[in-house]
Structure 1
Amino acid sequence: MKILIIEDEARIAKRIERMTRDFFDKDTQILLCDSVENGLNTIEKQSIDLLLLDLNLNGENGFDVLQTVVARSFQTIIISAYTDRAITAFQYGVLDFVPKPFDANRLTQAFIRFTTPEKNNGQEIQFLAVKKARNIKLIAINDIRYIKGAGIYTELHLSSGRIELHDKSMESLEKLLPSTFERIHKSYILRWEEVDKLVVEAGGKYNMLLKNSELLPVGRSKYKEIKQKLI
């Protein structure tokens, strides 16, 4: 586990570092940066699992970091006094927004959200960001029909028929996506509005028929839950 803290106030950075070490195991590596430039340089050179980001860094805008790295595979938790920017941060797909001043309990809640598979039941994101060459492209959540696991990537299957690759894993995306999405199989997350009906085939094989006539597999362990939801 490798965690990056981008915070310009040394006292607060050390406090966050201490609370982070108290929660995670001793093998966790924690990196500290105090500016947008140092943070972005570290992200380019290091493979991290979690980013803890302030939004005001010596007068620089932490959103400059967020907008650059939002499509990366790691999760981001904002720690900031700028609570008026929380909605925008969630729309960019951050996992949590911890307002300053904060205590150990509130930061622990954010860490628990990071370490458990539960969905984010707070603010709902409006788009996912994908990397296109050196640019970031925003994909509206409502344009996604379903998401398919593809090795270390995920495929965003869009209403237009296009497919966009995303760096975040299925598990990471499942935490971020709104309640309108349902995990129907280990390799598929479906936007529920796309559902037509559940199809049961011979041999106990289950599929979900979409409104556009596509068939997606349904996991055996998910069948009863999904059948109940369709009633």
Structure 2
Amino acid sequence: MHILIVEDEARIARRIIRMTKEFFLNTVVKLTHKESLSEGIDFLENNPLDLVLLDLNLNGEDGFGLLKQTVSGSFHTIIISAHRDKALQAFEYGVLDFVAKPFNQERLNLAFNRVLRKEDIADRTINVLAVKKRGEIKLISIDDIRYIQGAGVYSELVLLNDTKMLHDKSLEKLEQLLPKTFFRTHKSYLVKVSEIQKILVSSGSKYDLILKNNEVLPIGRTRYKELKSVLAI
């Protein structure tokens, strides 16, 4: 695990570092602490990361300036902040968890377990996905997404207007963040349920789904029964 902590209060930073090391033990390969917004942005742009722990108030600077860049990255982001009123906005940008200050080891462990997929996110309120395009961050409403296709360590967003955009997060990471309105129909596809027209069953136990635009996508055999249940058919 390569972890970046962006926190301006040295006492709290030391506490986060200690708790992080206690949870991940020998799996932490590199743990870096930065105190300012500019230092955090510079580090994440030049280093591979698995996780960012981010405060939203950095010496008076708004941590959302860094958040827009972190949620477009391949790693997960956990907010650790006293500004509880910012939680909903943070989740709308696609953070994995929001840990309110003051916090204890148990609450931080819950957030870390979500990174390891041992805990589900009960209320996924993400409204947008942040995509890097031509050096800028573009916010894509999830309402505009038809489906998402895995592309190795990346994912390809297919929009309702047939535009395709590459996202730095893997399909597995996006599945953790997206609401239940998206369903993992196949190892390579996350589909918006409302865009599914019907299921097509062929000989040899082959399953496909027909989207409302008549596009055909495969259904994994292990996903077929659950998808039928979701569609109530």
Q: Which runs of 5+ in 2 are unaligned?
A: none
Question: How many Å separate the matches in 1 of 2:205 and 2:124?
Answer: 38
Q: CA deviation at 1:25?
A: 2.9
Which residue in 1 is equivalent to 2:143? 142
Q: CA deviation at 1:84?
A: 0.6
Question: How many Å separate the matches in 1 of 2:121 and 2:132?
Answer: 23
Rate the CA distance shift 1:151–1:117 in 2: closer, same or farther, 3 A. farther
Which residue in 2 is equivalent to 1:6? 6
- Structure 2 SS opposite 1:213: coil
Question: How many Å separate the matches in 2 of 1:74 and 1:229?
Answer: 29
Task: Say if 2:210 is the partner of 1:209.
Answer: yes
Which residue in 2 is equivalent to 1:111? 112
Q: CA deviation at 1:45?
A: 1.9
Which residue in 1 is equivalent to 2:183? 182
The residue identity in structure 2 corresponding to 1:166 is: H
Which residue in 2 is equivalent to 1:20? 20
**TM-score, normalised by the number of residues in structure 2:** 0.96
Q: Which shows bigger deviation, 81-90 or 59-68?
A: 59-68
Which residue in 2 is equivalent to 1:54? 55
Give runs of aligned pairs for residues 125-164 of structure 1, distance below 5 A: 125-164=126-165
The residue identity in structure 2 corresponding to 1:2 is: H
Rate the CA distance shift 1:174–1:119 in 2: closer, same or farther, 3 A. farther
**TM-score, normalised by the number of residues in structure 1:** 0.97
Which residue in 1 is equivalent to 2:101? 100
Q: CA deviation at 1:226?
A: 1.2
Q: Cα RMSD (Å) of the superposition?
A: 1.2
Question: How many Å separate the matches in 1 of 2:142 and 2:230?
Answer: 21
The residue identity in structure 1 corresponding to 2:180 is: S
Residue pair 1:121, 1:178 contacting (<8 A) in 2 also? no
Residue pair 2:54, 2:77 contacting (<8 A) in 1 also? yes
Question: How many Å separate the matches in 2 of 1:95 and 1:143?
Answer: 21
Question: How many Å separate the matches in 1 of 2:193 and 2:134?
Answer: 31
Question: How many Å separate the matches in 2 of 1:170 and 1:155?
Answer: 9
Aligned length: 231
Q: Which runs of 5+ in 1 are unaligned?
A: none
Rate the CA distance shift 1:185–1:206 in 2: closer, same or farther, 3 A. same
The residue identity in structure 2 corresponding to 1:204 is: S
Task: Give the ranges of 4+ consecutive aligned residues of structure 1 lying more than 6 Å apart after TM superposition.
Answer: none
- Structure 1 SS opposite 2:149: strand
Q: CA deviation at 1:212?
A: 0.9
Which residue in 2 is equivalent to 1:218? 219
The residue identity in structure 1 corresponding to 2:3 is: I
Rate the CA distance shift 1:71–1:60 in 2: closer, same or farther, 3 A. same
Which residue in 2 is equivalent to 1:73? 74
Q: CA deviation at 1:59?
A: 1.0
- Structure 2 SS opposite 1:37: helix
Q: CA deviation at 1:27?
A: 3.6
Question: How many Å separate the matches in 1 of 2:55 and 2:205?
Answer: 51
Question: How many Å separate the matches in 1 of 2:209 and 2:5?
Answer: 42
Question: How many Å separate the matches in 2 of 1:93 and 1:2?
Answer: 20
Residue pair 2:149, 2:155 contacting (<8 A) in 1 also? yes
- Structure 1 SS opposite 2:8: coil
Question: How many Å separate the matches in 2 of 1:117 and 1:10?
Answer: 30
Residue pair 2:70, 2:77 contacting (<8 A) in 1 also? no
Question: How many Å separate the matches in 1 of 2:43 and 2:159?
Answer: 33
Residue pair 1:91, 1:124 contacting (<8 A) in 2 also? yes
